[in-house]
A and B are shown apart, each in its own frame.
Chain A
Amino acid sequence: MASRPRTLYEKIWDAHVVETREDGTALVYIDRHLVHEVTSPQAFEALRIAGRTVRRPELTLAVPDHNLPTTPRLDSRGLPIPIADPESAAQLAALEANAPAFGIRYIPATAKEQGIVHVVGPEQGFSLPGTTIVCGDSHTACHGGLGALAFGIGTSEVEHVLATQTLLLQQSKPMEVRVEGALGPGVSAKDLILHIIGRIGAAGGTGYVIEYRGAVFEAMSVEERLTVCNMSIEAGARAGLIAPDDVTFAYLRGRPMAPQGAEWDAAVAYWRTLRTDEGAVFAKSVVIDAADVEPSVTWGTSPEDVVPIGGRVPHPEDFADESKRVAAKKSLDYMGLTPGTPMTEVAIENVFIGSCTNSRIEDLRAAAAVLKGRRKADNVRWAIVVPGSGLVKAQAEEEGLDRIFTEAGFEWREPGCSACLGMNPDKVPPGERCASTSNRNFVGRQGPGARTHLVSPAMAAAAAVTGRLADVRELV
């Protein structure tokens, strides 16, 4: 039977619909569920109160990341150092108790496999192409870089997945972001996704699942694809994905939770069918020429507030829409920026390299390449590198990257979400400015009153060396 041409998103969706209600809501099967300490305690508590169990414990993986301090976790005798903050400690203790109580595999804070959920999932081969992946965290979109349909959920949905291994969902509309050509030297996946968000806006993807297509994404490593898909949510999209290919398969082969032997071959044969059909229709399409993308930086308090590094702080009056003029004025007040200032004249006091967006080995290599033989500027008070997982950390140490960072004046930390979200001890002080490889420049995101400029790892390194936002192309 000839079926209508479908997009990659529609193929994955169709393969997971258990049944459709008369009102159009679908019961969708969830293949993989990642759990961390912040958005799960109330879900486990609700299960306990209702006397419910976890339907498929082996399809859930738990690891703490948001709350953990990134300072050493073991004392000189090799014993775990307790978390000083009592609330954070209680949240961690809740996950440590809930996971085994419900039969869920748990990676403890002190294990070498521990890390940010969105780094750990792909690294362990838990996240696989063509699967549905959820987590109580909006950056779950990240796993779309492997060709999975991955999205963030709230705590009630965490409970729903634990109890039923499904979710009740409305299908999103398929959207295409096509980028042809090749990115220029010094222009990274992070610069591209910031450029895309600047172009389509923070709500440009609302109601859609984005498929990133074209030569630029085909040429990317898995790490770069994860960076792009990670920030789909900053454009409002529920998820973002990239069709799996030989690059994806080479990345996954041999990972601990990936299929092995004959099952691996069968899996790859299936994954090769996961491509948008010729003639499939997207509800919305955006085409970008890679040659137009430059190293990018944010100036405001929404991820859509993006300019090329050679640009200037905008004038609120430049915006056509009244609500955007109001928002821009508020943003500039908060950011302490004067319209018309060249971005390269903005001095920074803090540098953060890390987060689920940019803490993988390639990110650390890109930053270290800029920092090698250099030192942070005197006005940079605090510079930290937080590897995405213990395995990334070990790999970086094997390559000697840790020494490059520490010799440049950076602190080399333990894995976790760190200064991305102002929840654990790593925060940017009020009124200070941070060049950050994270994903959100919201008001107060990195700590109350903190001013965030989102950049790539190489650009963060360039900012550390010059003490201001800088064009990395002038340093290499």
Chain B
Amino acid sequence: MQPLTRAQGRAIPLGLKNVDTDIIIPARWLKTISREGLGQGAFETIRAEPGNVFDDPAYAGAPILIAGDNFGCGSSREHAAWALADLGIRVVIAPSFSDIFSGNAVKNGILPVVLPQDAVDRLLDAAREGLEISVDLEAQTVTTPYQDRFAFTLDPFRRHCLLNGLDEVGLTMARGEAIAAFEAQRTAARPWLMRGTAA
């Protein structure tokens, strides 16, 4: 995973609430067996509208997306995070995120920043003015040229993984002995739990 310490640049002022993962990437794009190239289908229904923020040259290549409450709700499809990554988005700022989406985002090097609605509104205004926004994961702050400084928090484990670009599977595989001990105890106490399809 690509590590992330800071992101700076223009921000796409989407602003909508309840942006579901069907909006981020419609199901017809989910037939792929690869993680690549999903930016093509990202926000397809919004991009069909003339004058939409994604096709506005003012925000071309912007690494930050600003949205409303409950961003990434709905389906667990990680394709939503892959699509954002393919668009070059490294940070999404919103008042809240769905639990599954924020986990998927971090695993793909995308930082979900939770800020109160009034801070998000302020950043939306700055983004619409074409100002650059700066996000610092080390300091856990979002700043603007207007001297705004908003503090956010990310849970320490996710922050650690993002800052260092760590692969969770690798970390957990190093705990193989602890898992084996747990399994042995379970097999002794409730063998039926460990049978699964072999029942």
Residues in A lying within 8 Å of B, measured CB to CB: 18-19, 21, 23-25, 27, 29, 31-32, 38-39, 41-42, 45-46, 50, 52, 55-56, 58-61, 66-67, 85, 87-88, 90-91, 94, 105, 125-126, 128, 131, 136-138, 140, 151-157, 159-160, 163-166, 168, 170, 172, 202-203, 206-207, 233-234, 236, 238, 256-260, 263, 266-267, 270, 302, 304, 323-324, 326-327, 330, 421-423, 440, 442-445, 448
Contacts and interface: CB of A to CB of B under 8 A. Distances in A.
Contact of B108 (A46, A156, A168): A156
A442 B44 CA distance: 14
A221 to B, nearest CB: 24
A23 B157 contact: yes
A160 B167 CA distance: 10
B74 A440 contact: yes
A166 B179 contact: yes
A157 B81 CA distance: 13
Contact of A327 (B17, B74, B196): B17
Given A202-B18, A266-B190, A422-B28, A42 B76 contact: no
Nearest to A41: B33
Interface in B14-30: 16-18, 20, 22-23, 26-28, 30
Contacts of B191: 263
B31 A87 contact: yes
A267 B192 contact: yes
Contact of B157 (A59, A168, A302, A443): A168
Q: Of residues B34, B98, B192, which shows the largest number of chain A Cβ atoms within 10 Å of its Cβ?
A: B192
A1 B172 CA distance: 32
B78 to A, nearest CB: 4
A236 B78 contact: no
A56 B98 contact: no
Contact of B70 (A27, A151, A168, A206): A206
29 contacts: A23-B155, A23-B157, A24-B156, A25-B155, A27-B172, A29-B183, A31-B196, A38-B31, A39-B78, A46-B169, A55-B179, A56-B183, A58-B195, A59-B194, A67-B31, A131-B193, A137-B75, A138-B75, A156-B78, A157-B103, A160-B172, A163-B173, A203-B18, A234-B74, A259-B195, A263-B191, A330-B16, A423-B28, A443-B45
Contacts of B199: 125, 256-260
Instruction: Bin chain B's interface residue count.
Output: 35 or more
B197 interface: yes
B60 interface: no
A128 B122 CA distance: 48
B96 A126 contact: no
Nearest to B193: A31
9 closest A-B pairs by CB: A154-B78, A259-B192, A152-B76, A87-B31, A154-B104, A41-B33, A23-B156, A105-B197, A25-B157
Contacts of A59: 194, 196-197
Q: Of residues A94, A206, A326, which shows the largest number of chain B Cβ atoms within 10 Å of its Cβ?
A: A206
Contacts of B155: 23-25, 170
B69 A323 contact: yes
B140 to A, nearest CB: 15
A230 to B, nearest CB: 13
A358 to B, nearest CB: 18
A377 to B, nearest CB: 29
Contact of A422 (B27, B32, B76, B193): B27
Contacts of A42: 33-35, 78
Interface string B31-56: 11111000000001100000000000
B172 A444 contact: no
Given A154-B81, A327-B17, A18 B179 contact: yes
Contacts of A41: 33
B168 A156 contact: yes
A275 to B, nearest CB: 18
Contacts of A88: 31
A18 B74 contact: no
A202 B70 contact: yes
Contacts of B28: 422-423
Nearest to B30: A38
Given A31-B193, A58-B196, A203-B98, 6 more contacts: A140-B76, A154-B78, A156-B108, A157-B103, A203-B69, A236-B73
A319 B31 CA distance: 38
Given A156-B78, A202-B73, A236-B73, A442 B22 contact: yes
A159 to B, nearest CB: 6
Interface in B55-104: 68-70, 73-78, 81, 96-100, 103-104
Contacts of B172: 27, 160, 163-164, 166, 168
Contacts of A442: 20, 22-23, 74
B76 A323 contact: no
B198 interface: yes
Contacts of A159: 169
B197 A29 contact: no
A266 B173 CA distance: 32
A39 B76 contact: yes
Contacts of B78: 39, 42, 136, 154-156
Interface string B159-199: 01000000011011101101100110010001111111111
A224 B16 CA distance: 34
Contact of B179 (A29, A126, A203): A29
B77 A154 contact: yes
A448 B169 contact: no
Contact of B76 (A138, A168, A423): A138
B10 interface: no
A153 B76 contact: yes
Nearest to B176: A164
Contacts of A60: 196-197
A164 B26 contact: no
A29 B156 CA distance: 21
